[in-house]
Chain A
Amino acid sequence: MTEVRTERAISVVVNGVPREATVPVRWLLSDALRHGFGLTGTHVGCEHGVCGACTVLVDGQPTRSCLVLAVQVDGREVTTVEGLSRSDHQGGQVLHPIQEAFRECHALQCGFCTPGFLTTIAAGLDARDPSVEITEEEVDEMVGGNLCRCTGYANIKKACRHAAATMREAATPTEMAISAGDEEAGR
């Protein structure tokens, strides 16, 4: 009994903020995030690594937080759904393009699986060359590992394409400006 109750201090950067915590060594990362750090945006759907609802980014890589112990992220960086948006210069929040796209494309219904999709797809989109048009294979890869019981996935895939298109536009401002200019000139 004493063995399993042992706690350990960890240092972890959560959503860009260095945090210190003492956690029971047997606690899952999902429990530490939710009940230790109060970041309840990470949801637990199966606790056996299949559904993907609890996916967070550990050092930028999608990771099922129900399959990792909290002590295993000591010294690492964790990003949850709460950390996908960034602050703008006026102190407001700028959502990640995939968050905007989920709303735009009706890619969520009950919203329980949504954080896992958002973190997974955000990591996928952030890791690719945004100036290249996204392929269906890439979309399938980013969407294919998580379960959703509400949407039938069509709109999640649509959101993935929509966000990639938004990022592509942002990544190629000059080209867009030129093509817009050409259009003007052509009139």
Chain B
Amino acid sequence: MTTKLFGEPVRRREDARLIIGQGRYLDDIGSGAYEAAFVRSPYAHARVLDIDVSAAMDVDGLLAIYTYEDLTGPMAEPLPVLIPHPQLTAPRTGYPLVKDVAQHVGEPIVMVVATDRYIAEDAAGLIEVSYEELPVVVGVDAAEAAERTVHDDVPDNVAARHHQETGDVEAALAASAHTLSFTQYFERSASMPMEGKGVHARWDDADSSLRVYSSTQASTSVRAAIAAKLELSMEKVEVIAPDVGGGFGVKIVHPWPEELLVPMAARLLGHEVKWTEDRREHFISSAHERQQRQEITVGYDDDGRIAALDVLVWHDNGAYTPYGIIVPINTATQLCGPYDIPVYRARVNSVYTNTVIVTPYRGAGRPQGTFAMERTMDRIAQALRIDRALVRERNLIQPDQFPYDWGLTFQDGRPLIYDSGDYPAMMAKLKVLVDWDGFAERRAAAEARGKLLGIGMAPYVEGTGPGPYEGAHVQVLGSGKVLVSTGLTSQGQGHETVFAQLAAAELGVPMEDVVVTTGDTRRFGYAVGTFASRAAVVSGNAVALAARGVKEKALRIAAEVLEADPADLEIDEGLVQVKGTPGASIPLRTVAVLSNPLRYAFDEAARQATQFSGPGDDSKPPVAVGDAPGLEHTDYYSPLRSTFASGAHAVVVEIDPATWEIAIEQYAVVHDCGTIINPMIVEGQVHGGVAQGVGGALYERMAYDRDGQLTNASFMDFLMPYASEVPDVDIDHQSTPSPLNELGIKGAGEAGVIPGSAAIASAIEDAVGRRIAAMPISPTELYDLVRSDAERVTNSSPHDSGAMA
């Protein structure tokens, strides 16, 4: 049998080129390209009065300057609202270049193209823009107050009022034995991939066609957007995502202004043009996420079982809503996590501020939702003086409740129905992994050392693998090489490896023979994109289906040659053979040659398929009716609805009461993404997610001042974790396969980040005995908190919880 591939920690194929410096990232392309630089708004809210380019015109090497006035046709119209929604009643998007009013610091106003970036920046620096400053709105509280407005025609600053409910929450709350109400805050962070965005465009004048490379998560849709905006026919535009240096959500948004302007300039100038985003540009003009104010009311009984949950969220969507209300929907629909909550209502008001747009960053609204739910659980446990784990366990959806239909609508427009899971087993594993019940001794030992130790936990459920679809094309060449392509893009997740594993396993060929292409519209034109932990689920199943189609055809052709029943054939190590009959075989590569009846013997292998090469069946045409030449197959996987992965994190923090430094002593993860294709890659995803969760909980924030200036727009000031800040992670896996797809796969990409802030807040609160109602938290803030009159909090230890309950 072919070496087992599915489920094995196969080493990554991507790495061979990346460890020797032979990757091909956006800025590695087009060494002769002209380069673009942008004049961006220095004000958070300002009317552009005049743009004086005269001083820049003398710069040697300057090629072109573009302002809004130079945009024509669809380019002069607002950027698209990518995901319309009936509750997004006041959608607003910017223009590729500011038309009249800049709505946040960093919005592009002028594009300069020159022979290189240095010169482009010289010229950009000489352009004088005069502004009339306008009142600025920063933060959800100011947006809600609406004393000042972002968009003149949106007087309440509300873009959308998203509302979903499963019953009469007010009645259920009124009938509850106990209720609690509280408010909490969650700050902004950002995807912050190590490679910023970038675009390279080449116009072929003779062919009137455009080739665009973009560091994107959605090349097929970028292609469609460019074609629409530049009024080109689709077949004249090809878009390729080369090696992409991380995405985490920010590169799913499109078309970014630069993705349209750079191709426009390439066409107008008849020359390659490139723009590579620098780090400051990334901070002030790419997307952020996560700021919310959450007002929560919960009703529960004497045992801590929740009867009703009512959540009102004020969500900061930044200056525009190009990505619709996906993040608010995720918060609203994923908030309840693994809990069986009889009556639930979520209202999310998505509001405008004069800040960078808010679109999905890994987790995409779920970290905030989990923060809301898990802090609620802690409060119930504290109010009833029962163990925090126990109150969670009492509320879990039980294994026999699947499929669990929430009666809500998920972010893909489909019903929110949990497909499978085993949350009690997951929580049991977590308690063992972190030694929840033995914590009292550890805390005592730490106290003896003069340190404060605290423990916290947070489970979550993540809807992954949403549709509408992905597709794949699999082709066996006469050389034996197997080409696999899918339109979905890659940003480091290891798709080349896992799709090769799937195709090789399905087809019975050595993995070395498989070549995978992703995100290249020349190879596969129909795709949605890489987001919502969907690649393995959706493209993975499409690759398996396409490979199966190829196998079926191969067996049919081979059966004729071998004069056998296709059902008696198998493919192993690239050889089609009759099961149990050694010697009765034909190489798959020969089947590929024979699949394409030929007139011309262009090479030695091709001779076998030419018209005089052997006796044929004269009663049938060379290519049967309904058949096609070539050993290839295209197939699509379109899921009925999303599949729901789950997990639970537990954290032990140690706090030094002299410095209030917060150190993570232990980080434990139980993770369930159904059937695993490559455990090495899944663990890598968990590690990376946890690091981002820790960053979001303890270090990262977007520090806007009240004028809308981002005061920490550099890696000097925006603190992303180094190795010294990221704990070792103990991982335990559980696997409840999805019944929705044949491979049983659920997504794994975002999971690791989701419960970080919730679990860490719980652990810090446990350590210091003060209410944590806002995240992230720094040592300074913690110091201030313990010295303030903040609410005192006592957690019951696991040991006395039974008695107390």
Contact = CB atoms under 8 A, between A and B. Distances in A.
Interface of A: 1, 4-5, 24, 26-27, 34-35, 38-48, 50-51, 53, 80-82, 84-85, 93, 95, 99, 102-104, 106, 108-115, 118, 140, 143-157
- Give 3 closest A-B pairs by Cβ, nearest first: A41-B21, A110-B492, A112-B245
B780 interface: no
Contacts of A140: 723-724
Most buried by A among B683, B690, B692, B715: B715
B14 interface: yes
A141 to B, nearest CB: 10
B19 A99 contact: yes
Interface string B610-625: 0000000000000000
B18 A108 contact: yes
B18 A114 contact: yes
A153 B492 contact: no
Contacts of A103: 11-12, 15-16, 19
Contacts of B246: 109-110, 112, 149-150
A85 B20 contact: yes
Contacts of A111: 14-15, 18-19, 23, 243, 245, 492
Given A27-B118, A144-B723, A151-B684, A110 B193 contact: yes
B69 to A, nearest CB: 27
Interface in B700-719: 714-716
Contacts of A118: 19
B691 A152 contact: yes
B232 interface: no
Contacts of B690: 152
Nearest to A160: B723
Interface in B21-53: 21-25, 27-28, 31
B723 A34 contact: no
Contact of A43 (B20, B195, B244, B715): B195
Contacts of A157: 723
A112 B25 CA distance: 8
B21 A82 contact: yes
A112 B729 contact: no
* Majority DSSP secondary structure for residues of A touching B: loop
Which residue, of B22, B118, B192, has the highest number of chain A Cβ atoms within 10 A? B118
B16 to A, nearest CB: 7
A45 B244 CA distance: 13
B723 A39 contact: no
Nearest to B193: A149
A99 B486 CA distance: 29
B60 A5 contact: yes
A153 B27 contact: no
Contacts, number: 169
Contacts of A147: 194, 715, 720, 722
Interface of B: 11-12, 14-16, 18-25, 27-28, 31, 59-60, 116, 118, 122, 192-195, 243-246, 248, 278-279, 491-494, 680-681, 683-684, 687-692, 714-716, 720, 722-724, 726, 728-729, 752
Contacts of B681: 106
Given A43-B245, A80-B21, A140-B724, 4 more contacts: A1-B59, A48-B715, A103-B19, A154-B728
A154 B726 CA distance: 8
B73 to A, nearest CB: 34
A38 B31 contact: yes
Which one of A39, A42, A143, A151 has the highest number of Cβ atoms from chain B below 10 Å of its Cβ? A151
Nearest to B714: A48
A103 B11 CA distance: 7
Contacts of A153: 687, 691, 722-723, 726
B723 A109 contact: no
Contact of B194 (A26, A51, A81): A51
A151 B687 contact: yes
A143 B11 CA distance: 22
Contacts of B680: 106
B20 A95 contact: yes
B20 A81 contact: yes
B194 A115 contact: no
Given A103-B12, A147-B720, A110 B21 contact: no
A32 B589 CA distance: 46
B20 A99 contact: yes
Contacts of B245: 43, 45, 110-113
Contacts of B729: 152, 154
Contacts of A39: 21
Instruction: Kindly name the residue among A43, A110, A144, A155 whose own CB sees the greatest number of chain B CB atoms within 10 A.
Output: A110
B20 A112 contact: no
Nearest to A45: B194
A144 B723 CA distance: 5
Most chain A beta-carbon contacts within 10 A, residue among B22, B681, B722, B729: B722
Contacts of B494: 109
A46 B279 contact: yes
Contacts of A35: 31, 116
B335 to A, nearest CB: 26
Contacts of B11: 103-104, 106
A114 to B, nearest CB: 6
B724 A45 contact: no
B720 A44 contact: no
B722 A106 contact: no
12 contacts: A42-B21, A99-B20, A104-B11, A108-B18, A110-B194, A110-B245, A110-B492, A149-B720, A150-B246, A150-B684, A154-B728, A156-B723
B684 A110 contact: no
A106 B723 contact: no
B118 A26 contact: yes
B687 A155 contact: yes
A50 B722 CA distance: 10
A86 B494 CA distance: 27
Nearest to A116: B194
A106 B118 contact: no
Contacts of B688: 109, 149-152
A113 B194 contact: yes
Contact of A115 (B21, B60, B491): B21
Contacts of B724: 140, 144
Contacts of B31: 35, 38
B20 A48 contact: no
Contacts of B720: 147, 149
Nearest to A40: B28
B27 A108 contact: no
A46 B713 CA distance: 11
A44 B39 CA distance: 21
B325 to A, nearest CB: 26
B667 to A, nearest CB: 10
Contacts of B25: 40, 43, 112
A110 B196 CA distance: 12
Contacts of B14: 111
Contacts of A143: 723
A148 B194 contact: yes
A151 B680 CA distance: 12
A139 B463 CA distance: 38
B714 A50 contact: yes
Nearest to A84: B20
Nearest to B244: A110
| Max count, chain A CB within 10 A of own CB: residue among B21, B493, B728 | B21
A110 B691 contact: no
Nearest to B685: A109
Taking each of B20, B193, B681, B688, which has the highest tally of chain A beta carbons within 10 Å of its own beta carbon?
B20
A110 B195 contact: yes
Contact of A46 (B492, B689, B714): B714
B501 to A, nearest CB: 14
Contacts of A82: 20-22
